[in-house]
Each structure stands twice: as structure tokens, then as C-alpha cells.
Chain A
Amino acid sequence: MIRRPSARPRRGAAAVEFLVTVPLFVAVMLGALELCMVVERSDRIRRAADVGAQVGGATVETAPVTGSIIEAEAEDAAEAALTALGIDCTGGCTVDATWSADGGTGLYTVEVVITAPYTAVSTLDWIPGTLTRSATVLSASQS
């Protein structure tokens, strides 16, 4: 038996489909744009952490070596790098450097952890309010 297509009126169907699709499309576009911005900003923070860690890693303290000067040098450099990279720290960035022994290897490392606020352009809930990135390098031989 051949079934005839429904003869119900289809007036307005295209408009309804359009109205359903457009918000979805716009949400996807905004999400992609927001994700790009998060990744880009995150990369800048990572670069600042890397500069701080490299600078701290090249610093040599006089005995007794406590790591406090190494950590201060690393934090200063990371903060300066954040500024140079145009990271807006309104709301408070935290820069934390740690000089520590690397297990039982006899080596020391400098780790810089940066947490910076991120204000989302869109109103998407899944965007994090803060971004945290870190970098670790080997410390220079201390005297």
C-alpha cells in the first residue's frame, strides 16, 4: 500500500527550525572563540612561568643556600614577564616559586606556579575563573 505524504500544513516549519538552530550555532561559535582565548591566555601565563623558572634556575646563592633568593629572583622575573605579555592581573595574580631537591638525584629544581584570573567574554558556565600554569627547570649548581 502506498502511503501518501502528510498533507498537514508546513507553514512556519522553516522558521521554527531556523529559530531552534541559530542559538545552537551561535553557542558553538562563542564556545570555540572563548576556548581559543583561554588557550591563548594560558599559553602566555605558561611562558611567563617558564621565564621565571629559567631565571631562578640560573641564580646562584652564597652559602648557606636556602633557596630564598633563587625563589625571589624567579618570582620577580615571572611577574615582569606577565606584565610584558600583557596579562591583566586585576583581581590578583599569584606567582609562587619553589626551590627544592629533586628526589634522591642530588639535583635541585625551580618550579614557578602562576595563577591568573580569567574573565570570560561569553556567559558560558564551563569557562574557568582562574588559569594556573607552571614550569620547572633544573637549578644551577650552588656554591
Chain B
Amino acid sequence: MTPPPIRHRRGSYAVEFVLLMPLWLGFLFASLDLAWLGLEYARLSAALDEACGEAATLMPGDATVQSTVASGVDEALARFGTTACTGCTITGAQQGAAPARFVACNASKDVPPLAPWTFPTVTIDVARVAPLAFQTPYTAAP
């Protein structure tokens, strides 16, 4: 059998390139968007960590927990060099049978992708808990 002449492969590399390029570009942009999502998650969780820690310094029964967490998240994000968390849902509440024992904080944010055709808008949810700094060392009834 006679092998095919070399000249028959002329242009085949270009065809393969054209076929594979959109696929690899898709992978590339999807990876970038995934990294962007991770960055947003890291920022929000770090901000919520700080805000929840700040709210944990309030006394048990304090009514300003929610607003402290919300403003704490915005302050932390501003320090990280990003804008305030617009469109975020932030909650904070003391929990545990009286006296309250810890603060539970939640934040969720819709993150649209950088390249709209890679991912749909993803909602990231972050949850944190922090023990109250003023733990009443009470004497529990035996």
C-alpha cells in the first residue's frame, strides 16, 4: 500500500486549530470565571468573618447585632478595596438558650459571570458562627 503523500496534510493543522480553539477558549474563560467566583467568595467570607467577630463582642441580648454585622461587612469590603455589598442579603443573630451563646451570621450575593456565556449567575452563600466574647460563666443547675 502506498502511503499518502505529505502534501495531503497541508491545511489540516489549521482545520484542527480552528476546531479546537473555541473549545480551549471556553475552558479558559470558564476557568477565569471560576477563579472570579472563588475570589468573590473569599472576599465575602473574610468580610463576614470580621463582621461576625465584631458582633460577637456585643453583650447577650443586644438589639444591634443585625446592623453591626451588615455595617461590618461593608467596612471590611471597603478595606479589601471593593465596593459595598450591594444586593447582598446579610443576617446576624445571637443564638442559644438564654443567655445567648454565639452569633450566627449569613451573607448571600449574586455573582454574575465575567463572560456571560460560561456560567449563569451564581448565588454564593456564606455562613459563620462566633462565640460571644462575654460568655457569662454562669453556674448551671446540677
Interface residues of A (CB under 8 A from B): 7-10, 14, 18, 44, 47-48, 50-51, 54-55, 58-62, 69-70, 73, 76-77, 80-81, 84-86, 140, 143
Indicate whether A62 sits within 8 Å of B142 (C-beta atoms), given known contacts A8-B3, A85-B127. Answer: yes
- A-B residue pairs in contact (CB < 8 Å), sample of 18: A9-B3, A14-B16, A18-B20, A44-B127, A48-B129, A51-B101, A51-B129, A51-B131, A55-B96, A55-B102, A58-B135, A61-B142, A73-B101, A77-B96, A80-B96, A84-B102, A85-B104, A85-B127
- The 3 A-B residue pairs with the shortest CB-CB distance in the complex, in nearest-first order: A58-B135, A7-B3, A84-B104
- B140 proximity list for chain A (CB < 8 A): 59-62, 69-70, 73
- A47 proximity list for chain B (CB < 8 A): 128-129
Closest to A70 in B: B140
Query: A interface, by DSSP: helix, strand, loop or mixed?
Result: helix
- A50 proximity list for chain B (CB < 8 A): 131
Q: Which of A73, A76, A77 has the most CB of B within 10 A?
A: A77
- B9 proximity list for chain A (CB < 8 A): 10
Shortest Cβ distance from residue B82 to the other chain A in the assembled complex, whole angstroms? 21
Q: Complex Cα distance A119/B97, Å?
A: 31
Closest to B127 in A: A85
Q: Complex Cα distance A7/B104, Å?
A: 69
Indicate whether A77 sits within 8 Å of B137 (C-beta atoms), given known contacts A84-B95, A84-B129, A85-B129. Answer: no
Shortest Cβ distance from residue A132 to the other chain B in the assembled complex, whole angstroms? 19
Shortest Cβ distance from residue A15 to the other chain B in the assembled complex, whole angstroms? 10
Shortest Cβ distance from residue A90 to the other chain B in the assembled complex, whole angstroms? 18
- A85 proximity list for chain B (CB < 8 A): 104, 127-129
- Report yes or no: A55 in contact with B137, Cβ–Cβ below 8 A: no
Q: Which of A10, A47, A69, A143 has the most CB of B within 10 A?
A: A47
- Report yes or no: B137 in contact with A140, Cβ–Cβ below 8 A: yes
Indicate whether A7 sits within 8 Å of B139 (C-beta atoms), given known contacts A51-B131, A80-B95. Answer: no
